[in-house]
Structure 1
Amino acid sequence: MNVFATDASARLYEHAKFMGQRHIAQLFQEDPNRFQKLSFELDELLVDFAKQRLSTETLQHLCQLAEEKALKRWIKRLFNGEKINTSENRPALHTALRTPIDQSLLLDGTDVIQQVHENLDRMSRLVECIHSEQWLGCTGTPINTLVNIGVGGSDLGPFMACKALGEFSSPASEKLEIHFVSSMDGSHLSSLLSKLDPTRTLFVISSKSFTTIDTLANAETAREWLKRAEVHAEMDESLIIKRHFIGVSASPQRMVDWGIPESNHLYFWEWTGGRYSMWSTIGLPIALRIGMEGFRDMLAGAHVMDCHFRDTPFTENLPVLLALVGIWNINFLNITAHAILPYDGRLSHLPSYLEQLEMESNGKSTTRHNDQVNYHTCPILWGEIGTNAQHAFYQLLHQGTVPVMCDFITSAKRYEAPGHEELKHQHQLNLSNCLAQSQILALGDTVIKDADQAPAYKRYRGNQPCTTLLMQRLSPYTFGMLIALYEHKVFVQSVIWDINPFDQWGVELGKTIATGLLPALTQEQACEALDSSTLGLIRHINR
């Protein structure tokens, strides 16, 4: 099935024959005002597409493609709570998680916005209790360390946000150490437990289903560690769990079955996808790091982007344009590699977060109608802090043979307070690197006089399409805008590709097979009906 068999697609294929032969440097020579025509602003965020290999005509054709693919109707269905996650027969209502309380949305007769704010208030009381040192461990000492146990969306989002927004910590939250544990092999936890005080450590078990084997294995290890602690030797296990565990899940009964009392529960819903869940009570570590006021600022920034996405014409709509430029690169210019390059150390975990958001959402090869696609869908994403990446893989970007589209992400202002002059200079140095690299990647060495006289090994071909996302300042508010921007970009691309971005069946078979192999690895039973490689490896491990 070819979802690109439309009138706008036909025009885009013809247009690509022409634009595909152009160099971005040529486009600037022909139109010095590209920035004014191809950059767009919303509040404290600017997105510049001028260094992409496209024109205003390209964007017009792409917006027509979005119209032909009924994007307006799909956006309306998303916000209205229709069951657009068809394979799991549920809505995808992450936008409801950041909707103000004065609005409402009925789902099966229940106002989900009211439910969301009831749980935010519950989380707020818990945050206040921990920050004010009223949450006491079994021995009566205040909690000063929190360990979040989760995996995937229950780990990557909160971890990334805590790193990005750490400098917005309040005096109360600075007293609290926050750690994240996700690896199934126990390496995170084993190196951490030896440094922690079992009387002052609180574990948060974050799992939508509360059946995730990675998470529960780490949680069980934490429980046994607490029980073995000398100070807990004579204590009842239920008291240890009550004082040292919080559960965050959409499955209350499973939390109870594990031993966590209802007083220590935080809830979210089945319609909250894991990789969209940090806006929910899964964001507890974020709220503990930056306070509930900062957490609500983050929600407010995301909501501003939601409203912009829902209400703004495609020609000025940041998520729509970001998505369509990606479609242009992937499906019409055949560029299937995407580098995420934040020039801000606080955003060091943004690339890995976006890897999950995009590749788990749109890494699909079947349409919503179960037809095999015959076109590219999600590209390969990877990235690193820009200044580190310059010494790692920029060689390939500048002189390799692979076409790569790049997102440069940074903030205009930092270290503005008096007494930070040296740090302010470092930020300006960082910005100069960001701007220089995007310029060279797009324009090549045409920016250097007599560059064509240099030997081939010193030449920079350029023509790597670059988008720059520039925040005025990184704050909880602009951070919320940025993440929501990418979320909606993913949704728009799924509509164009006719795929469901809200499931991830591709990860399920590996879990099933792993469970089946465990008896052979523990030598409880033979497992002869395997391929020779897997069988040989198991035998070697067991020897």
Structure 2
Amino acid sequence: MTTDDGDILLDYSKNLINEEVMRMLFDMARSVGVEAAREKMFAGEKINFTEGRAVLHTALRNRSNTPIMVDGKDIMLDVNRVLEQMKGFCHKVRSGEWKGFSGKAITDVVNVGIGGSDLGPLMVTEALKPYSKGGPNVWFVSNIDGTHMAKTLAQLNAETTLFIIASKTFTTQETITNAETAKEWFLQAAKDTSAVAKHFVALSTNAPKVKDFGIDTNNMFEFWDWVGGRYSLWSAIGLSIALHVGFDNFEQLLAGAHWRAIILQSTPAVFEGNKPSNSIIFKKLTPFMLGAFVAMYEHKIFVQGVMWDINSYDQWGVELGKQLAKKIEPELQDDAEVHSHDSSTNGLISFFKKNRS
């Protein structure tokens, strides 16, 4: 059993499935409201019900520019504004017009982020290496373990390195800790805090925090609360992709995702059987084709979430972790005993305090 639209062949015949099972799956999908949920998502309704947010990563690659309304506002105006900002910035960096503090062009870009602000861009830049000619090298640092940043910085020249700090709130501890380390390393060479503005840009919505860090808010690239972290590479979070492969290829990535989202709006998804295997064949891994693949898998997760009555978009665990970290961090600064957590956490904190050097 296969599907073939002329560009991508999907063979799912090795799954434990036949025409009767497929019919039942389609009937089940309709009975639980997959089609209705799909229309709500594309219309901007707040289907992320636990956080009260729309789910509109699809708007980021809406190449038709069809208006998409959220709370009475066409969000495509903001999407296109940020895309134009990214386009202009990419041209300046890749052409050599953007200069560092010593007058040299940028040769390396370090993306500092975690989770979706790291994994998505990392995956795409690796996949599209053949399209990177003329662009800067890209590096990704996500681990708060200082070894990750230290090993990366050891290979770089501060005069020609640009740092992208990817944090929506600009308060994510892992990211800001790494960003501060990068700034400290950079200033050892630059000797002038004003030079930070030439070598650091932000992907964020928190202008005051960005400014406090030393980044020019003109070089802050915005994204929005209806962009889930795991679905964010199409947004300003994809700036490292655009710098590496060029903005034209980044637009092709968006176009491929938009094209695939249009086969997916018209038909329910194909379902796997007993997780044996699927075979996908394509002629060439272009930015357009990669965009189509990623969109296909995103939609697969959407359909599974509707079928199983699971919200595929919230991140309560991540948010809880941030809250706990903010409470625990100041408790690590002194030698006082801690009793405010569960016995395991109290024990870990106590052990750390007794054994830190």
TM normalised by structure 2 equals 0.94
| Stretch deviating more after TM superposition (267-276 or 533-542) | 533-542
Pick the aligned partner of 1:121 from 71, 84, 88: 84
- Does residue 243 of structure 1 match 2:198? yes
| Deviation at residue 531 of structure 1 after TM alignment | 5.0
Provide the residue aligned with 1:44 in structure 2: 7
Provide the residue aligned with 1:276 in structure 2: 231
Gaps of 5+ in 2: none
- Does residue 296 of structure 1 match 2:251? yes
| Deviation at residue 56 of structure 1 after TM alignment | 1.0
- Does residue 191 of structure 1 match 2:191? no
- Does residue 106 of structure 1 match 2:61? no
State whether residues 252 and 267 of structure 1, in contact with CA within 8 Å, keep that contact through their aligned partners in structure 2. no
Q: Within 2, Cα distance between the matches of 1:159 and 1:104?
A: 30
Q: Which amino acid aligns with 2:102?
A: T
Counterparts in 2 of 1:188 and 1:112: CA distance versus 1, 3 Å: same
Q: Within 1, Cα distance between the matches of 2:77 and 2:350?
A: 56
Provide the residue aligned with 1:84 in structure 2: 47
| Deviation at residue 82 of structure 1 after TM alignment | 0.4
SS class of match (1:466): coil
Counterparts in 2 of 1:253 and 1:109: CA distance versus 1, 3 Å: farther
State whether residues 305 and 481 of structure 1, in contact with CA within 8 Å, keep that contact through their aligned partners in structure 2. yes
Q: Which amino acid aligns with 1:226?
A: F
- Does residue 130 of structure 1 match 2:90? no
Q: Within 1, Cα distance between the matches of 2:239 and 2:332?
A: 37
Provide the residue aligned with 2:221 in structure 1: 266
Q: Within 1, Cα distance between the matches of 2:169 and 2:91?
A: 27
Provide the residue aligned with 1:220 in structure 2: 180
| Deviation at residue 195 of structure 1 after TM alignment | 2.4
Q: Within 1, Cα distance between the matches of 2:173 and 2:214?
A: 17
Q: Within 2, Cα distance between the matches of 1:530 and 1:248?
A: 34
Q: Which amino acid aligns with 1:45?
A: I
Counterparts in 2 of 1:108 and 1:513: CA distance versus 1, 3 Å: closer
Counterparts in 2 of 1:253 and 1:82: CA distance versus 1, 3 Å: farther
SS class of match (2:281): strand
Q: Which amino acid aligns with 2:237?
A: I
Q: Which has the higher contact order (CA 8 A, sep 6+)?
A: 2
Provide the residue aligned with 1:310 in structure 2: 265
Superposition pairs of residues 349-364 of structure 1, within 5 angstroms: none
State whether residues 338 and 349 of structure 2, in contact with CA within 8 Å, keep that contact through their aligned partners in structure 1. no
Provide the residue aligned with 2:327 in structure 1: 516
SS class of match (1:155): helix
| Deviation at residue 496 of structure 1 after TM alignment | 0.7
SS class of match (1:141): coil
Q: Which amino acid aligns with 1:228?
A: Q
State how many pairs are aligned: 354
| Deviation at residue 88 of structure 1 after TM alignment | 1.4
Provide the residue aligned with 1:525 in structure 2: 336
State whether residues 85 and 502 of structure 1, in contact with CA within 8 Å, keep that contact through their aligned partners in structure 2. yes
| Deviation at residue 533 of structure 1 after TM alignment | 4.4
Counterparts in 2 of 1:517 and 1:251: CA distance versus 1, 3 Å: closer
- Does residue 501 of structure 1 match 2:317? no
Q: Within 2, Cα distance between the matches of 1:292 and 1:191?
A: 29
Q: Within 2, Cα distance between the matches of 1:297 and 1:64?
A: 35
SS class of match (2:105): coil
Counterparts in 2 of 1:531 and 1:281: CA distance versus 1, 3 Å: closer
Q: Which amino acid aligns with 1:199?
A: E
Percent identical pairs in the alignment equals 39
Q: Which amino acid aligns with 1:181?
A: V
State whether residues 54 and 70 of structure 2, in contact with CA within 8 Å, keep that contact through their aligned partners in structure 1. no
TM normalised by structure 1 equals 0.63
Q: Which amino acid aligns with 1:483?
A: V
Q: Which amino acid aligns with 1:466?
A: S
**Structure having the higher Rg:** 1
1:289-327 per-residue CA deviation (whole Å, 9 max, x = no partner) reads 111111111111100111011123x3xxxxx11xx32xx
| Deviation at residue 157 of structure 1 after TM alignment | 0.4
Q: Which amino acid aligns with 1:55?
A: N
State whether residues 337 and 350 of structure 2, in contact with CA within 8 Å, keep that contact through their aligned partners in structure 1. no
Pick the aligned partner of 1:155 from 118, 133, 140: 118
Pick the aligned partner of 2:210 from 248, 255, 263: 255
Gaps of 5+ in 1: 1-37, 315-319, 330-404, 406-464
SS class of match (1:222): helix
| Deviation at residue 63 of structure 1 after TM alignment | 0.2
| Stretch deviating more after TM superposition (467-476 or 198-207) | 467-476
Q: Which amino acid aligns with 2:160?
A: R
Pick the aligned partner of 1:65 from 28, 35, 52: 28
1:403-454 per-residue CA deviation (whole Å, 9 max, x = no partner) reads xx2xxxxxxxxxxxxxxxxxxxxxxxxxxxxxxxxxxxxxxxxxxxxxxxxx
State whether residues 208 and 274 of structure 1, in contact with CA within 8 Å, keep that contact through their aligned partners in structure 2. no
1:73-128 per-residue CA deviation (whole Å, 9 max, x = no partner) reads 11100000001111111100011111115422222333222321221111011001
State whether residues 172 and 322 of structure 2, in contact with CA within 8 Å, keep that contact through their aligned partners in structure 1. no
State whether residues 133 and 142 of structure 1, in contact with CA within 8 Å, keep that contact through their aligned partners in structure 2. yes
Provide the residue aligned with 1:454 in structure 2: none
Counterparts in 2 of 1:85 and 1:147: CA distance versus 1, 3 Å: same
Provide the residue aligned with 1:13 in structure 2: none
Provide the residue aligned with 1:399 in structure 2: none
1:318-348 per-residue CA deviation (whole Å, 9 max, x = no partner) reads xx11xx32xx54xxxxxxxxxxxxxxxxxxx
Q: Within 2, Cα distance between the matches of 1:299 and 1:531?
A: 46
